[in-house]
């Protein structure tokens, strides 16, 4: 009898233990819907605003529904609250309804003096956040000064966001640091980052978005200067408290709505503001294609030497014409379309640009006094300098390499092609032939006798011209394309060892 009782007790114990293990396993596997990682660089004159924003987070956060982790670097001179510590610390944000500016969230790491302008500092922060606070979705917010793809000042040329004054460093866009950080983060996640939000001035640019398109699903940024108080974190988190299972698209849209409402007499007062959210998928790539061909069409009617184009430019919404020369590309296309002296062929491509931007920008909002100050804001700015003296680092941007025609247009070109250093053949084929586009000609260098075919195709894959086919002896050759219609094409080299294609732009 005692054996039966013991067996029954043992069975019950084992069942209970099994259920406990199952419950613990379920708990471990159950990620929260969101982990929000905020790279809060207050190591500069924005330190007080950084402290204010941490307090906003504490007033709004609900840790039962999502995680908010911040890495906060402070400035040695200025703000003296919170024991006046000046190094870099990591906090897990917890609720605190007080308004006394004291940070009460638990510190989970101390880093000493970290360089917040170093992309590796950002990558390490995100890596630890992913490891320690796994979630279904991740949003990264980069908080600090911003300047689009270009930093004002010669000592920090080719820079863009997160200026660390103690280290005198900033994360660059044109030098590849910004893209490198997002590529590394995407690798850590094993997928694209769900949302990249830039709580920084002037980051809402076509060039900036293109740098991260392969590693980010949604980007949130401002075409205009960001208000000193930045995002209304309490408003955004309160919205997330009600919608904890929001999709990345829904949260991206909500950030835009909350930002604009908060500065239109809301929680942040009254101040000029813009914010937009883009989905970086095929629709954004279509924006790039349309802008590239639009630029070709503009060059075909004499480009920036055309007074009607320059008139449209002067009427376009500008966000900074002192050094960044940031203009709304949708508004420029709209002004081209409205011009009575521009050919319909160009207007049609202006319309294509507008439609493409409408499709890629999932939410845009702005507020200003007077309202006309920012009424030409549609969510995506582009570099468009006065005159033809563009910054030399612009050519380093990924979009300048993939779609070079906007750069060719703004520097004053009217007849364009791929630059001399753009070699068509990859290393494995160079022993067979080296092919370049040089001054409107297709140039071929053959190190030994080989069979070669050079053909030109349009964007739909239709062959438009056979430039050469046959056997070539060792030597140098040049061919002038016979195509007379301006447009974007592909030139294809075929040899016994393989083939390769690259874009060819023809303007007559």
Per-residue pLDDT tens digits for 162-208: 999 999 899 999 999 999 999 999 999 999 999 999 999 999 999 99
Residue 460's pLDDT band (cuts 50, 70, 90): low
- The total of other beta-carbon atoms located within 10 Å of residue 446's CB is 19
What integer is the mean pLDDT of 4-26?
39
Edge to edge, the sheet with strand 450-458 lists 463-472, 450-458, 487-495, 498-506
Residue 116: both structure tokens together:
């917040």
- Please tell me which of 154-168, 228-242, 485-499 the model is most confident about, judged by mean pLDDT: 228-242
**DSSP bridge partners of 490:** 457, 503
**What structural domains does the chain harbor?**
33-281 (3.40.50.11970), 285-362+375-410 (no CATH), 427-506 (2.60.40.3080)
What was the pLDDT predicted at 140? Answer: 98
Write down the pTM of the prediction.
0.79
Contact yes or no for 271/374 (Cβ under 8 A): no
Q: What's the CA gap between 25 and 387, in Å, rounded? A: 64
Q: What's the CA gap between 153 and 67, in Å, rounded? A: 37
pLDDT for 344 beyond 50: yes
What was the pLDDT predicted at 251? Answer: 98
Contact yes or no for 437/417 (Cβ under 8 A): yes
Residue entry with tokens 């004002």: 152
Helices (H) and strands (E) in the chain, counts: 13, 23
Contact yes or no for 114/170 (Cβ under 8 A): no
Q: How far is CA 214 from CA 168, 399, 495, in A?
A: 29, 12, 31
pLDDT in tens, 134-170: 999 999 999 999 999 986 554 444 468 999 999 989 9
**DSSP 8-state code for residue 452:** E
Residue 202: both structure tokens together:
């002037």
**Among 180-184, 214-218, 252-256, 474-478, which is the least confidently predicted range?**
474-478
Q: Name the nearest CA neighbour of 40 among 203, 307, 231.
A: 231
Q: How far is CA 300 from CA 309, 336, 357, in A?
A: 12, 14, 23
**DSSP bridge partners of 386:** none
What was the pLDDT predicted at 443? Answer: 76
Alpha-helix runs per DSSP H in 133-270: 177-189, 206-212, 233-242, 248-263
Q: What's the CA gap between 92 and 94, in Å, rounded? A: 6
Residue 459's pLDDT band (cuts 50, 70, 90): low
> Strand ranges (DSSP E) for 235-346?
264-266, 269-270, 273-279, 318-320, 326-328
pLDDT for 363 beyond 90: yes
pLDDT for 417 beyond 60: no
74 vs 486 pLDDT, higher one: 74
**DSSP bridge partners of 110:** 89
Alpha-carbon radius of gyration of the chain: 27
Residue 471: both structure tokens together:
């056997």
What was the pLDDT predicted at 485? Answer: 74
**DSSP bridge partners of 141:** 38, 197
């Amino acid at each position: 009898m005692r054996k039966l009782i013991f067996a029954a007790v043992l069975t019950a114990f084992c069942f209970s233990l099994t259920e406990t293990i199952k419950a613990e396993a379920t708990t471990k596997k159950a990620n929260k819907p969101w982990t929000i990682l905020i790279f809060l660089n207050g190591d500069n004159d924005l330190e007080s605003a950084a402290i204010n924003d941490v307090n906003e987070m504490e007033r709004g956060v609900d840790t039962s529904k999502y995680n908010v982790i911040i890495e906060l670097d402070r400035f040695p001179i200025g703000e003296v609250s919170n024991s006046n510590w000046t190094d870099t610390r990591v906090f897990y944000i917890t609720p605190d309804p007080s308004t006394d500016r004291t940070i009460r969230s638990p510190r989970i790491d101390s880093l000493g003096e970290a360089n917040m302008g170093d992309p590796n500092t950002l990558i390490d922060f995100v890596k630890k956040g992913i490891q320690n606070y796994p979630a279904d979705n991740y949003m990264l917010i980069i908080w600090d000064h911003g300047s689009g793809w270009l930093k004002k000042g010669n000592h920090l040329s080719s820079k863009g966001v997160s200026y660390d004054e103690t280290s005198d460093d900033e994360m660059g866009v044109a030098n590849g640091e910004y893209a490198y950080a997002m590529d590394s983060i995407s690798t850590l996640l094993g997928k694209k980052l769900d949302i990249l939000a830039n709580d920084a001035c002037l980051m809402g640019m076509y060039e900036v978005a293109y740098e991260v398109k392969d590693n980010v699903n949604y980007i949130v940024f401002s075409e205009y200067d960001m208000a000193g108080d930045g995002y209304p974190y309490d408003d955004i988190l309160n919205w997330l408290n009600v919608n904890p299972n929001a999709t990345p698209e829904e949260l991206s849209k909500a950030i835009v709505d909350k930002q604009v409402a908060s500065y239109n007499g809301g929680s942040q007062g009254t101040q000029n503001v813009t914010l937009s959210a883009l989905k970086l998928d095929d629709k954004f790539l279509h924006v790039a294609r349309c802008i590239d061909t639009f630029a070709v069409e503009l060059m075909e009617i004499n480009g920036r030497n055309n007074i009607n184009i320059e008139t449209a430019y002067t009427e376009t919404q500008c966000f900074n014409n002192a050094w960044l020369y940031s203009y709304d590309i949708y508004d420029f296309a709209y002004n081209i379309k409205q011009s009575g002296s521009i050919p319909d062929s160009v207007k049609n491509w202006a319309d294509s640009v507008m439609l493409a931007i409408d499709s890629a920008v999932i939410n845009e909002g702005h507020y200003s006094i007077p309202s006309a100050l920012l009424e030409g804001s549609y969510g995506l700015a582009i570099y468009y300098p006065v005159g033809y003296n563009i910054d030399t680092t612009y050519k380093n941007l990924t979009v300048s390499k993939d779609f070079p025609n906007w750069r060719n247009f703004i520097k004053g070109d009217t007849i364009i092609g791929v630059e001399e250093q753009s070699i068509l053949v990859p290393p494995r084929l160079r022993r067979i032939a080296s092919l370049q586009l040089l001054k409107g000609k297709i140039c071929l260098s053959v190190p030994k006798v080989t069979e070669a075919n050079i053909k030109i195709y349009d964007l739909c894959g239709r062959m438009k011209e056979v430039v050469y086919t046959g056997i070539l002896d060792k030597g140098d050759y040049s061919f002038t394309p016979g195509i007379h219609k301006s447009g974007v094409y592909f030139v294809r080299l075929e040899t016994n060892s393989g083939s390769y294609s690259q874009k060819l732009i023809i303007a007559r």
